[in-house]
Structures are given as C-alpha cells and as structure tokens.
Amino acid sequence: MGEGGKYIVIDGQQRINSIIQYLNEEFGLSGSSIPDGLKNKKYNNIKGIQELNARFLDEKIHVIIIINSENKELKYEIFE
C-alpha cells in the first residue's frame, strides 16, 4: 500500500474512472462493439438483466502491486 494506506494508480486511471462513472449513471454504453439493444443504456437499465449485471460485476481488473518502500521511483521506471 502507498502512503496513508492507499494505492497509487500509475496506469489505468482512465479505465477505473470510466467504470466508476458508468456505475454512477454518468453515461450509457456506446461504441461499435455494443449490441444495438444495449446502446446508450445506463447501468440501472441493464441491472434487471441478471446475466449482464453479474457478468459486469464479476469482471476482473488485472493489477500489479509494487512493494518497495526504498526505491520510490521504481514504479515509474517499470511503467515506462
């Protein structure tokens, strides 16, 4: 864990923020890979569709946690 018991996100901030914004109903689904029946649907609109809701909430986000309190620049070197 980072300072103050928090993790620091080096790569993936936009992805994490998008997930949070979607769950908070700030935008609907869009993009060429979204089926027509789901386009512009917000999270609460698909919440009743149990299979989609479970699939969305069960999706995994892969992370790498770097534990090295001595070298504070290591996390940025690995990212580059």
Residue 41 and residue 25: Cα distance in Å, rounded? Answer: 9
What's the average pLDDT block by block, 10 residues per block, for the chain (80 residues)? 71 89 91 88 78 81 75 70
Q: What are the Cα distances from residue 23, in Å, to 32, 39, 76, 77?
A: 21, 16, 29, 32
Determine the pLDDT at residue 4: 66
Neighbouring CB atoms inside 10 A of 79's CB total 10
